[in-house]
Amino acid sequence: MPAHFAPSQPLQGGPSPSQLGPKELLIERALTRLRSIPNDLEKYTFLAGLRGRNPDVFYGLVGGNMKECCPIIYTPVIGLACQNWSLIHPPPPESDPTIDALYLSYSDLPNLPQLIGGLKTRLPHDQMQISVVTDGSRVLGLGDLGVGGMGISQGKLSLYVAAGGVNPKATLPIAIDFGTDNETLLADPLYVGQRIRRLSQEKCLEFMEVFMRCMHETFPNMVIQHEDWQTPLAFPLLHKNRDLYPCFNDDIQGTGAVVLAGAIRAFHLNGVALKDQKILFFGAGSSGVGVAETICKYFELQGMSEDEAKSKFWLVDSKGLVAHNRGDTLPSHKKYLARSEPDAPKLRTLKEVVEHVQPTALLGLSTVGGTFTKEILEAMATYNKRPIVFALSNPVAQAECTFEEAVEGTDGRVLYASGSPFDPVEYKGKRYEPGQGNNMYIFPGLGIGAILARVSKIPEELVHASAQGLADSLTPEETARHLLYPDIERIREVSIKIAVTVIQAAQKLGVDRNEELRGKSSAEIEAYVRKGMYHPLLEAEQQAQ
């Protein structure tokens, strides 16, 4: 498939929205229409169409109604959209110069310098700020969805705008078609990607090396977010590029940071000293290992030696406890936190490991729904006054347990977070509120901070700073309610706080290139961040960017 551009959909006839009243009225009308649509996928296509036709109204609507709109434009409904991408993705009209989606494939490799270089004149904003790039090989917990991964790139960028205040014109979603190993897509004549098997890891990395170089040469200040790459590509991409370009992997580092922030709160609330925490991970892919290593590093920063910090972690994968003496060859990303105790090879199931370790915290990043059974939850409640249970796999059906199951299994004592949204629960006459440990709390703030500081790269310290910024962003009222994360409706304020923390960390490390911000106080940096943000309700000429 050659590179092609899929611009936003033009309005078909009729008066333009600007003739229909002020933006506030258009937003109210769109919200009323949205609420009248009974089907989730139709709600998604309605909002995607609105984003193309009138970004200000779309972002005004989303920004003012985060709780209601996020589950549609993002997890979980975005998963459904990616699964149905061939039926719903907008066709690429030749004439519209606005680029809303860029598809590339391996056959573009010889022309990448011209193709990417040429974007500079074709894109609507000469200062592109952020791109989210996927190959769709591991979309949420849904597996290989081929070019359907474009939905994720667009969904993440919508949150960059709504939550992080990035100018929508400065965002570029990219899906790279390296084929697919999804049998259903391979057999589907309507599939919009190439119906070929996935290319080798070597070919994908060869392509990505040129891609990253061309992107950086064309847009030197652009932050690139790698999203939903399967583990064997995610780690090499991160390790090869993190010291060369301003880039990060959202599943490894963004998820790592958001879970760390929730864990900092949970460790405080369960009242167990850090040195006595025992953390068990179910799932040892890119997200599981990314989160475990982020929390492990935090323990070191809190004064533990590396070995002591590592001793607090257990990883479980489909073969049981991850251990050096298990008898199989461990992939490199699993080695760092692999155990060595002599009885490790005997522990083959999650239940066996839970009973053996008696963890204070059980974190699920397995993509296998329902694996935190009633028995396991009840066991966690016998070991702990306040058991920490994070069911982080996405979307909803992949969550290791629902919030209701966690509350019932622990008699209401659980400290719970999930990746996808769950409703509050009434149990024995009391109302309980879940936390949503989704990287959406991190990447908009980390990204806008990195963009505004014009960082040359994104070292791990910046990721840790974003987690700290998030953990510090709860209001006294949210803290009193024992919440793990702030209210999602405040996500812009939270992102501003994270951005300031990230900018200051970048200055401390000397990876910032924005001289205008050097020597400024927190309050001055915050004012700068606020001023640099896109506000959908302001007219174009009032926008700073």
Ligand X SMILES: O=C([O-])CC(=O)C(=O)O
CB 486 within 8 A of CB 475: yes
The pair phi, psi for residue 248, each rounded to 5°, is -155, 165
Is 265 marked as a binding-site residue? no
Residue with Cβ nearer Mg ion (261 or 338): 261
Residue with Cβ nearer ligand X (221 or 436): 436
Q: Which partner, ligand X, Mg ion, none, binds residue 419 by CB below 5 to 8 Å per kind?
A: ligand X
User: Parallel, antiparallel, or unpaired: how do β-strands 361-364 and 279-282 relate?
Assistant: parallel
Point out which residues bind ligand X (CB under 6 A).
75, 140, 228, 250-251, 394, 419, 438-439
Measured at the CA of 56, the angle between CA 455 and CA 54, to 5 degrees, comes to 120
Q: How far is CA 125 from CA 99, 435, 474, 528, in A?
A: 10, 37, 35, 21
Q: How many CB atoms lie within 10 A of CB 65?
A: 16
Is 394 marked as a binding-site residue? yes
For residue 330, give the DSSP letter.
P
Q: Which partner, ligand X, Mg ion, none, binds residue 473 by CB below 5 to 8 Å per kind?
A: none
Q: How many CB atoms lie within 10 A of CB 138?
A: 25
**One-character DSSP codes across 108-154:** GGGGHHHHHHHHHHHSS-SS--EEEEE-SSS-TTS---GGGGHHHHH
Residue with Cβ nearer ligand X (158 or 439): 439
Residue number with the smallest Cβ distance to ligand X: 75
Is 438 marked as a binding-site residue? yes
Q: How far is the CB of 72 from ligand X (least distance, A)?
A: 13
Q: How far is the CB of 394 from ligand X (least distance, A)?
A: 4
Q: Which partner, Mg ion, ligand X, none, binds residue 135 by CB below 5 to 8 Å per kind?
A: none
Nearest to 149 by CA among 133, 172, 169: 133
Q: Is 156 annotated in the active site? A: yes
Structure tokens at 364: 């699920």
Q: How far is the CB of 140 from Mg ion (least distance, A)?
A: 6
Is 339 marked as a binding-site residue? no
Is 227 marked as a binding-site residue? yes
Write the single-letter amino acid at 309. A
Residue with Cβ nearer Mg ion (439 or 495): 439
Q: Which partner, Mg ion, ligand X, none, binds residue 438 by CB below 5 to 8 Å per kind?
A: ligand X
The pair phi, psi for residue 365, each rounded to 5°, is -135, 45
Residue with Cβ nearer ligand X (79 or 536): 79
Choosing from 23, 43, 44, 74, the catalytic residue is: 74
Cα separation, 20 vs 89, whole angstroms: 27
Is 188 marked as a binding-site residue? no
The pair phi, psi for residue 292, each rounded to 5°, is -60, -45
- Between the CA atoms of 126, 131, 136 and 139, what dihedral angle is there, to the nearest 10 degrees? -140
Q: Is 432 annotated in the active site? A: no
Q: Which partner, ligand X, Mg ion, none, binds residue 75 by CB below 5 to 8 Å per kind?
A: ligand X
Structure tokens at 460: 């791990």
Choosing from 156, 297, 312, 497, the catalytic residue is: 156
Point out which residues bind Mg ion (CB under 5 A).
228, 251
Annotation: binding site for a divalent metal cation: 227-228, 251
What residues are annotated to the active site? Answer: 74, 156
Annotation: binding site: 138, 227-228, 251, 394, 438
Annotation: binding site for (S)-malate: 138, 394, 438
